[in-house]
C-alpha cells in the first residue's frame, strides 16, 4: 500500500484542508483502507474547523518555530499543527548557548526543549505516550541555526540523530545532491542568507 496526502492552506479562512489517496504502488489501483483487515477497527474522525483554523502542517511548523526564535527572539513558543489527521501543539523553550560534547568535540550550541500537546485525533494510549514524551534539539548559535543533534525521549524508546556533514566545511557528502557533475571544493558552497534583522 502507498499513500499520497496533499495539504492546502487558505490564507483568508486560515483553514488547512487535506486530500488523501491510498493505492497499490504496483498497479496504481485505488484502495479503500476501511476494507483492509488491519484498518477495520480504526476510525479517522475529521478534525473540527475551529481546531484547524490557523494550524500549520508539520514542515511549516518547523519553519515557524525557527522564525519565532531567530526573528522574533522568543524564548518560548507554541505552534499549532494539523498533520492531516490529528491536531496538536508543539511547545518549545529556548535555553542560552552552552558548550555540549558531541561527536568527539566541544561545541557551543543552543538547546531547544520541545514537547507535544495532543488536542484531537489521539486515542487514550497514544495521548498518554505523547504526554510522557519530550525532546531537545541543539542548534548552531549563528544565523544558519542548523540542527546539530536531535534527541527524542519516548515512552518506549529514546532516539538520537546527529548532523553528520556541513556542506560549508565538508563538501564531499554534498556532491551527491548537485544537479551537475562539478565537485564542490571546501569553502565554495553558497552561504545561507541571514534570517536575522
For residue 72, count other CB atoms closer than 10 A to its CB: 10
Strand residues in 10-104 grouped as ranges (E): 16-23, 76-82, 87-94, 98-102
Q: What's the pLDDT score for residue 94?
A: 92
**pLDDT for residue 189 is more than 50:** no
Q: What is the dihedral of CA 10, 73, 146, 96, to 10 degrees?
A: -140
pTM for the structure as a whole: 0.70
The continuous run of DSSP H or E covering 60 comes out as helix 58-70
Average pLDDT of the segment spanning 22-45 = 76
Is residue 118 a contact partner of residue 126, using CB atoms and an 8 Å limit?
Answer: yes
What is the helix (H) or strand (E) element at residue 83, kind and residue range? none
> What are the tens digits of pLDDT across the range 63-76?
888 888 888 777 89
The pLDDT value given to residue 177: 59
Average pLDDT of the chain to the nearest whole number: 80
Residues 6 or more apart in contact with residue 186 via CB below 8 angstroms: 169, 170, 171
pLDDT exceeds cutoff 80 at 106: yes
Predicted pLDDT of residue 44: 66
- Residues in Cβ contact with 79 at an 8 Å cutoff, skipping those fewer than 6 apart: 56, 61, 64, 65, 68, 89, 90, 92
Structure confidence at residue 196 (pLDDT): 32
Which residue would you say has higher pLDDT here, 93 or 172? Answer: 93
Pairing of strands 98-102, 87-94: unpaired
Domain boundaries, the chain: 2-50, 52-162
Identify whether the C-beta of residue 51 lies closer than 8 Å to the C-beta of residue 83: no
Backbone φ and ψ for 8, nearest 5 degrees, come out as -130, 145
For residue 188, the tally of other CB atoms under 10 A from its CB is 11
Amino acid at each position: 500500500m502507498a499513500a499520497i496526502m496533499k495539504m492546502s492552506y487558505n490564507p483568508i479562512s486560515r483553514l488547512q484542508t487535506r486530500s488523501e489517496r491510498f493505492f497499490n504502488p504496483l498497479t496504481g489501483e485505488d484502495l479503500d483502507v476501511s476494507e483492509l483487515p488491519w484498518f477495520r477497527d480504526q476510525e479517522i474522525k475529521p478534525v473540527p474547523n475551529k481546531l484547524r483554523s490557523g494550524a500549520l502542517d508539520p514542515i511549516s511548523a518547523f519553519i515557524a518555530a525557527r522564525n519565532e526564535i531567530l526573528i522574533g527572539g522568543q524564548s518560548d513558543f507554541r505552534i499549532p499543527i494539523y498533520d492531516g489527521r490529528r491536531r496538536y501543539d508543539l511547545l518549545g523553550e529556548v535555553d542560552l548557548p552552552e558548550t555540549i560534547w558531541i561527536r568527539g568535540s566541544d561545541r557551543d550550541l543552543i538547546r531547544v526543549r520541545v514537547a507535544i500537546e495532543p488536542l484531537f485525533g489521539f486515542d487514550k494510549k497514544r495521548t498518554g505516550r505523547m504526554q510522557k514524551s519530550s525532546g531537545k534539539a541543539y542548534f548552531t548559535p549563528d544565523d544558519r541555526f542548523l540542527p546539530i543533534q536531535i534527541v527524542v525521549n519516548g515512552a518506549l524508546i529514546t532516539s538520537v540523530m546527529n548532523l553528520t556533514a556541513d556542506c560549508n566545511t565538508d563538501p564531499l557528502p554534498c556532491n551527491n545532491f548537485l544537479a551537475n557533475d562539478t565537485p564542490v571544493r571546501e569553502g565554495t558552497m553558497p552561504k545561507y542568507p541571514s534570517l536575522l534583522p
